[in-house]
Amino acid sequence: MSDITYDVVVLGGGPGGYVAAIRAAQLGQKTALVEAEALGGVCLNWGCIPSKALLKNAEVVNTLQRGKEFGFAFENLTLDFTVAYQRSRQVSDRLVKGIGSLMRKNKIDVFEGRGVLRSVGEIDVTLNKGGSQIVKAAHIILATGARARGLPGLELDGERIMGYRQAIVQQQAPKKALIVGAGPIGMEFAYVWRSYGAEVTVIEMLPQVLPLEDDEVSAEVAKAFKKMGVNVLTSTRTEGAARTADGVQVKVKHVDSGAESSLDADLVLVATGVRPNSEGIGLETVGVKTNRGGFVEVDEYLRTNVPGIYAIGDLTGKLALAHVGSAQGIVAAEHIAGHETMPLTDEKYIDMPRCTYCNPQVASLGLTEKQARAKGLEIKVGKFPFIANGKALGLGEREGFIKIIADAKYGEILGAHLVGPEVTELLPELVLAKTWELTPDEIARSVHAHPTLSEVLMEAAHGVFGAAIHM
């Protein structure tokens, strides 16, 4: 393979990288992929997939603890987090093997090793098996991802102060945990660990949990977490940490009052964002431009400032979500091949689906109500609760609602915010509607099967016009 010049070489095999490679191969491009660790990247190995397996275990645990409601009882319930961990690894391993099969099916050459840009058309790969390989390419797609970011005074040591990658492979739930950051990662781990009996405190510097979500959605989640016994400290920032004989002590300060206190825990999970894996991959060698955060700058087709070099996924800093990286990978591959594609403008990222898989689940797209009003837009809001939905009541999942924000004059969907049972599975209907400029009226006029959770979408759409049927 040393004499081959590929049409496309992808550096990084995560959900952006491997999808880009597959799409390029589908379009007739001779394609290779370089990956230093495991195919599937963080998402399949240490993020999205294993965490969802753990969340399912946590959901089952919570259902068992509601036995009286469902008419069953038992004694001496024992919970084994190690089994939950093992199941999460089995799920992850199975999907990773599947990615390997897809590489072979699409005749994509995989180089297992660490790649560094040697020139605009060459990647120098230090192979895991020993030795090195120069891989030549007409086009290169950078997909090296990102990693957890520590905080001053809370530098990650991987043992007591850790990021999501270390947290996901803990084989025992902590007895007492501090989670810094109430975004999706922090809230998901809080739900899992609390379900297995851990004493959990979530620390968030901003005034609400899930601070990027609609205010009402965040309040609903905070209420549910407090009900299950999670200690939520908003408007609170960390001031540093010190290791103790058997754990960590973290100093915190309330943003408004200035009051300070110390909290003790077995471990601290820092879930406050990511930093790009842009160092040491040769960007300076070829002149690829990055911003002050180290993220690679790209245009709507994912092109960098260097002709022939593209960048996708978390490395771009656009939106650190696996499905966004995959979407970017498809656009980049199609652009390289000269195939018709849909450019990803900055406005497109606002409408990307966003999901948090704790209980209750959260899903959203577009502007929050506060953001829409701050822009001076004239809006109508439709909102409908799950407590009035027959399927939700049958499932015993009554908390939450769906909220649709629409332009008052033209009916354009500006945002949608969902909190409640399986709302991450309900969001795609709204994504489709937003993408193809459907209005709430068209959703309301689409017959939704009864009884289903999706009826709440229809009712919320009716609610935009003050015409919800069952409320």
Active site residues: 450
3-state secondary structure of 273: coil
Residue 34 amino acid letter: V
Residue 343 near residue 331, CB atoms below 8 Å: yes
Tokens found for residue 405: 């924000």
| CB burial readout 6-17, b (16+ within 10 A) else e | bbbbbbbbbbbb
3-state secondary structure of 114: strand
Q: How far apart are CA 268 and CA 245, in angstroms?
A: 15
Is beta strand 267-270 parallel, antiparallel or unpaired with respect to 176-180?
parallel
Where does residue 290 fall: left (phi above 0), alpha (psi -120 to 50 degrees), or beta otherwise?
beta
DSSP string, 402-421: EEEEEETTT--EEEEEEEET
Q: Helices 455-463 and 423-435 meet at what angle, rounded to 10? A: 50
Q: How far apart are CA 328 and CA 310, in angstroms?
A: 10
Residue 328's nearest CA partner among 340, 313, 318 is 313
DSSP class of residue 322?
H
Residue 193's nearest CA partner among 165, 230, 157, 160 is 230
How far, rounded to the nearest angstrom, does the alpha carbon of residue 40 sit from its chain's CA centroid?
14
Is beta strand 309-311 parallel, antiparallel or unpaired with respect to 132-142?
parallel
Residue 388's nearest CA partner among 432, 342, 450 is 450
How far from 416 is each of 372, 384, 386, 402, 438, CA to CA, in Å? 11, 12, 15, 8, 13
Beta strands in 36-184 (DSSP E): 109-119, 122-127, 132-142, 146-148, 161-162, 176-180
Give the contacts of 338 (CB within 8 A, at least 6 positions apart): none
Tokens found for residue 40: 């599937």
DSSP class of residue 295?
P
Q: Give the alpha-carbon dihedral of 422, 423, 424, 428, to 10 degrees.
A: 130
Beta strands in 305-349 (DSSP E): 309-311
Question: What totals of helices (H) and strands (E) does the chain contain, helices first?
Answer: 16, 21
